[in-house]
């Protein structure tokens, strides 16, 4: 029966994603079913980064670009739900991905900066559920005055001197993850970030602070003084905030 065949091919594509492109050429019907699995999650990096890492399950940006150009927006809008874009992806390909993949629910966007004209992430306000990004991008999004009503999970895996912006524009936010500076915690900038999150994320249930082992005791003592059970200090050697952490945040 076609339904059983479809189920077999879908299961095979899920278990062995590397073979999904081969399965997609079996027939037009199988191609349609398998492509929903093939394109559901895109972890995109440069060819050079992919070569150096040698890890499966990642797409080379330069190789996916022709597909982005050849297929219409409707194709990606209904198939691509989860996207991770690393810092090595060229800007033009970043723009192509965000312009074509308009139904993203779980986004990791690690970019050094956002230009004022790069408003492509803003249309995702109606679909986005989780966001992994850096402080530059988050501040740019906050300044845009666009509300993202469905985002429940925010991760800022890269510490920095840019303060965390107020988070009223993420009204459904329940979990925030922050990385603390790896240097000794001497200036307490992170304390101000914690206060910002606690005071502006009205639905917050959990604030996860990943601290370097050398700073773990200091951070733990200061958090205990805050007397807020929602805050948890964790060893950042256990939580590396990579693509694996990104996937686990929405698979859970």
**What stretches of 24-134 show up as alpha helix (H) in DSSP?**
28-38, 47-53, 61-70, 73-77, 91-100
Burial of 105 (0-12, 13-18, 19+ CB in 10 A): middle
Instruction: For residue 59, list its beta bridge partners.
Output: 44
Structure confidence by residue, pLDDT tens digits, 210-222:
988 888 888 899 9
Look at residue 157 in the predicted model and tell me its pLDDT.
84
Domain ranges of the chain: 1-38, 39-104, 127-252
pLDDT, tens digit, 9 for 90 and up, residues 86-142: 888 888 888 889 999 999 999 999 876 666 556 778 899 999 999 999 898 899 899
In terms of pTM, does the model score above 0.85?
no
> pLDDT tier at 10 (50, 70, 90 boundaries)?
low
Query: Do residues 61 and 47 lie in contact, with contact meaning Cβ atoms separated by under 8 Å?
Result: yes
Place of tokens 């948890």: 232
Whole-angstrom distance, CA of residue 45 vs CA of residue 163: 27
């Amino acid at each position: 029966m076609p339904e059983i065949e479809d189920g077999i091919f879908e299961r095979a594509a899920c278990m062995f994603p590397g073979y999904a492109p081969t399965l997609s050429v079996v027939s037009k019907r199988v191609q349609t079913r398998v492509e929903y699995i093939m394109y559901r999650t895109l972890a995109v990096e440069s060819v050079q980064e992919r070569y150096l890492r040698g890890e499966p399950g990642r797409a080379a940006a330069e190789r996916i670009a022709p597909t982005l150009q050849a297929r219409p927006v409707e194709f990606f809008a209904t198939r691509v739900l989860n996207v991770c874009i690393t810092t090595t992806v060229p800007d033009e390909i970043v723009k192509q991905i965000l312009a074509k993949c308009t139904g993203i629910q779980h986004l990791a966007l690690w970019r050094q900066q956002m230009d004022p004209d790069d408003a492509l992430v803003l249309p995702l306000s109606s679909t986005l559920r989780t966001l992994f990004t850096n402080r530059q991008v988050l501040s740019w999004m906050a300044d845009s005055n666009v509300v993202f009503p469905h985002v429940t999970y925010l991760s800022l895996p890269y510490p920095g001197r840019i303060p965390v912006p107020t988070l009223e524009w993420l009204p459904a936010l329940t979990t925030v993850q922050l990385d603390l500076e790896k240097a000794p915690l001497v200036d307490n900038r992170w304390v101000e970030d914690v206060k910002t999150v606690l005071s502006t994320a009205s639905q917050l249930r959990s604030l996860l602070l990943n601290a370097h082992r050398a700073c773990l005791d200091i951070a733990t003592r200061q958090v205990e003084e805050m007397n807020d059970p929602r805050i948890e200090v964790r060893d950042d050697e256990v939580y590396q905030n990579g693509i694996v952490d990104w996937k686990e945040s929405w698979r859970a």
